[in-house]
Amino acid sequence: MLRTLLASLFLLLSLFPHAQVTGGGARVQGNPEKPNVLWLTIEDTSPQFIGAYGNPDVHTPNIDRLAAEGIRFERAFAPAPVCAISRNALITGMSPDKLGTGNHRSAYPIPDFIRGYPAYVRDRGYYTTNNAKTDYNTSRADAIIAESWDESSNKAGWWDRAPGQPFFSVFNFAESHQSRTMTQPRPWYEKNVLAHLPDSLITHADELEMLPVYRDSPDMREHIARVYNSINLMDLRIGEMLDRLEADGLTDSTIVFIYADHGEAVPGGKATASGLGYRVPFLIWFPEAYRHFSPWESGTVSQELLTFLDLGPTLISLTGGTVPEYMDGRAALGNEREPAPEYIFAGRNRLDETPDLARSVTDGRYLYTRNFFPQYPAQKPQKYADVSDIVQAIRADDRAGLLSEPQSRILRPQPTETLFDLQADPWERNNLIDDPAHAGRAKRMREAVREEILAERDVHFLPEVALAKLPMPYTFRQDQNSYHLKNALKVALTDPETIKGQRKLIRALHDDDQLVRYWAAIVLGRVPPSADAVAALETALTDEHPTVAIYAAGALVRHTDNATAATEVLRTHAMGEDPYRALSALQQMQYAGPRMHDFLPDFRAKLKQLDADPGADKNMAYNLRSIVETSIFLLGEGPKLTY
């Protein structure tokens, strides 16, 4: 028996000379054509804030060195300007618009056939680790984590793999996160960021070149220096990780990726449908042994278009696997590499307590965005932002009349459409949408957004109260008989400022389809309605679909003198049991303009209700409390916001 076993083992080793007999449940061992892969994910950072991308005031020597020796990408984009949605797209390789995962910190189901991309790498024998953020934004997050990672924790790393086993390790660097750059109080920042930097890596407020989208004042300089110093600390930590890789003798066998999970955590950046929200720094460094894997020359800058939907397919292809058909991205490396598309798409939906729906398309240089809620500003009232010194300073400067038009723009209603040249105008100050020289480009990109919405069957055109009740949003969106997206989109794209548009919207407000009525109420509420539109909105206050009634009420409160019935509709739903309808009603109260103060008693009553019973959904309880506390604070009637 023993002789037979030894003979079999000898035969195995003869046939597979690179195999090793190890413990730990390793699936495949030690193939020299399987490079180790290290992903260093930095939080909340735009390219303009990295030295290698031209910023002279930040100190990022480790990232800059890898950029000089590797490939620096100019046209890499997250599919959303916030972490949870971007990370959902990354782990699944699928568009959030199809999955219904585009609302921040939601937990809706996705189909069981969708695996996290690292699971396919594990199938190839890799040891996979994540340290440590997941934030996968779906009810299936736990199952995805279990299947994707050998270990996912703040202790995870390549060091626990079996001898000779290739690894794929992800490390997340929170030093550049919004909590560091702006949200936490100044003393916290000084203790947890500034105190950890040597003098040589500190950016001083009086020495930096002020960013053109902010007022140049001593306070704002300190706020921007804080952003830079958080990034400086992040780069220092990346250097320490690279030192550990070198100490373990793995640098020469490891391909290194560095990228941010979305754009910069500054006002007008993160959480906005903009280049500053979507565009990310992205680098790949190849050791000499694996440079044949790279289609680009080392030490170069690539203009190739990349989206996070490409990262899973790229890793699967790079490690020798087969990219599953359901993934929406393309492989940029490996045997399954495909050419970049003409366009990639991104979007913004509800984020915490803030309402929105915007859809964007880019060819890498130009970014077109259609705002479906242009009445709301880019920098919306949001507790996680308004708690910060920098947002409070901007709002105070605006009230004092100290901001120029470009500086105050983020606090004003947005254009319905924007078109920016991110190469010539990286701070997005010159909207080209009405420039005759760009009329053809605007038309093509406008149509590309419309076609993408219809092709993807974008499920976020449903009100979230309906989305939350679906057993499977991904499947529902495919049902042409139940989800009348094409008709709803026609209404959503209607111009309410024309007589023809208002008439069309009035007819739509009486349509049999509640989704059409929902969008008619939203669009009519963007501008002062005609007398006929007011009558139609008043009728809609008793619509069988409460969300239609809520948006009709919001329109009447904002734009008419006699809105007693509309006010009562908002108050009823704000205090109601359904958290999604309550949030919609509170949003309409918050955006009631001069009448917002009339709802102060309602905000206070809601706060007491939440104190007594926050509800079963912790995320929605947070959103409801946040909008109430922020509204009271912005009215000047409550205590200072705290985080």
* Lookup: tokens for 445: 């990109």
Residues 6+ apart with CB under 8 A from 43: 83, 172, 173, 174, 175, 176, 177, 178, 234, 260, 261, 265
Q: Is the pLDDT at 249 greater than 90, yes or no?
A: yes
- Say whether the peptide bond before residue 396 is cis (omega within 30 degrees of 0): no
> Which residues make beta-bridge pairs with 369?
360, 418
* Lookup: tokens for 148: 């994707």
- What's the pLDDT band for 643 if we cut at 50, 70, 90? confident
Q: Side chain identity at 100, as an amino acid letter?
A: G
Q: Is the pLDDT at 29 greater than 50, yes or no?
A: no
* Lookup: tokens for 154: 């703040």
Task: Quote the DSSP letter at residue 331.
Answer: B
- What's the pLDDT band for 33 if we cut at 50, 70, 90? confident
Q: Is residue 353 domain-resident?
A: no
**What distance in Å separates the CA atoms of residue 425 and residue 419, rounded to the nearest whole number?**
11
Q: Is residue 604 domain-resident?
A: yes
- pLDDT 10s digits, 462-515: 999 999 999 999 999 999 999 999 999 999 999 999 999 999 999 999 999 999
* Lookup: tokens for 324: 């599953």
3-class secondary structure, 72: strand
Buried residues in 558-583 as b, exposed as e (16+ CB within 10 A): bbeeebeebbebbbbbbeeebbbbbb
* Domain extent at residue 156: 35-339
> Which residues make beta-bridge pairs with 51?
none
**What distance in Å separates the CA atoms of residue 118 and residue 110, rounded to the nearest whole number?**
17
**What distance in Å separates the CA atoms of residue 221 and residue 207, rounded to the nearest whole number?**
9
> CATH number for the domain including 69?
3.40.720.10
- What's the pLDDT band for 13 if we cut at 50, 70, 90? very low
Q: Is residue 450 domain-resident?
A: no
Query: What is the average per-residue pLDDT within 621-643?
Result: 96
Q: Is the pLDDT at 332 greater than 50, yes or no?
A: yes
3-class secondary structure, 377: strand
Q: Is the pLDDT at 12 greater than 60, yes or no?
A: no
CB 500 within 8 A of CB 530: no
Q: Is the pLDDT at 418 greater than 80, yes or no?
A: yes
Residue with tokens 């934004």: 137
Q: Is the pLDDT at 161 greater than 60, yes or no?
A: yes
**What distance in Å separates the CA atoms of residue 289 and residue 51, rounded to the nearest whole number?**
27
> Which residues make beta-bridge pairs with 345?
361
Taking CA atoms, 350 is separated from 473, 521, 577, 619, in Å, by 16, 18, 20, 12
Indicate the number of domains in the chain: 2
Report the run of H or E that residue 152 belongs to, with start and end. Answer: strand 151-152
Nearest partner of 171 among 191, 154, 189, judged by Cα: 154
* Lookup: tokens for 619: 């995320």
Last residue of a domain, one of 289, 311, 339: 339
Residue 31: what pLDDT? 53
> Which residues make beta-bridge pairs with 36?
254
Q: Considering the chain, what percentage of its residues have pLDDT values greater than 90?
A: 94
- What's the pLDDT band for 15 if we cut at 50, 70, 90? very low
* Lookup: tokens for 424: 């010539």
- pLDDT 10s digits, 55-69: 999 999 999 999 999
Residue 26: what pLDDT? 32
**What distance in Å separates the CA atoms of residue 340 and residue 307, rounded to the nearest whole number?**
10
- pLDDT 10s digits, 508-538: 999 999 999 999 999 999 999 999 999 999 9
Nearest partner of 50 among 33, 24, 20, 73, judged by Cα: 73
- What's the pLDDT band for 328 if we cut at 50, 70, 90? very high
Query: What is the average per-residue pLDDT within 140-166?
Result: 98
Q: Is residue 202 domain-resident?
A: yes
**What distance in Å separates the CA atoms of residue 445 and residue 451, rounded to the nearest whole number?**
10
- What's the pLDDT band for 320 if we cut at 50, 70, 90? very high
Query: What is the average per-residue pLDDT within 288-309?
Result: 97
Q: Is the pLDDT at 40 greater than 50, yes or no?
A: yes
Q: Is residue 9 domain-resident?
A: no
Q: Is residue 368 domain-resident?
A: no
**What distance in Å separates the CA atoms of residue 169 and residue 253, rounded to the nearest whole number?**
13
- What's the pLDDT band for 7 if we cut at 50, 70, 90? very low
- Which burial class, exposed, middle or buried, applies to 259 when counting CB atoms under 10 A from its CB (0-12, 13-18, 19+)? buried
Q: Side chain identity at 234, as an amino acid letter?
A: M
Q: Is the pLDDT at 565 greater than 50, yes or no?
A: yes
Residue 137: what pLDDT? 98
Please report, for the chain, how many H helices and E strands are present, in that order. Answer: 26, 13
Q: Is residue 371 domain-resident?
A: no
**What distance in Å separates the CA atoms of residue 94 and residue 232, rounded to the nearest whole number?**
33
Query: What is the average per-residue pLDDT within 395-410?
Result: 97
- pLDDT 10s digits, 333-355: 999 999 999 999 999 999 999 99
Q: Is residue 641 domain-resident?
A: no
> CATH number for the domain including 523?
1.25.10.10
- pLDDT 10s digits, 188-244: 999 999 999 999 999 999 999 999 999 999 999 999 999 999 999 999 999 999 999
Residues 6+ apart with CB under 8 A from 388: 182, 183
Q: Considering the chain, what percentage of its residues have pLDDT values greater than 70?
A: 95
- pLDDT 10s digits, 75-99: 999 999 999 999 999 999 999 999 9
Last residue of a domain, one of 307, 339, 371: 339
Residue 32: what pLDDT? 63
3-class secondary structure, 73: strand
Last residue of a domain, one of 310, 339, 368: 339
Mean of the per-residue pLDDT values for the chain? 94
> Which residues make beta-bridge pairs with 77?
279, 307
Residues 6+ apart with CB under 8 A from 267: 182, 214, 379, 385, 390, 391, 394, 410
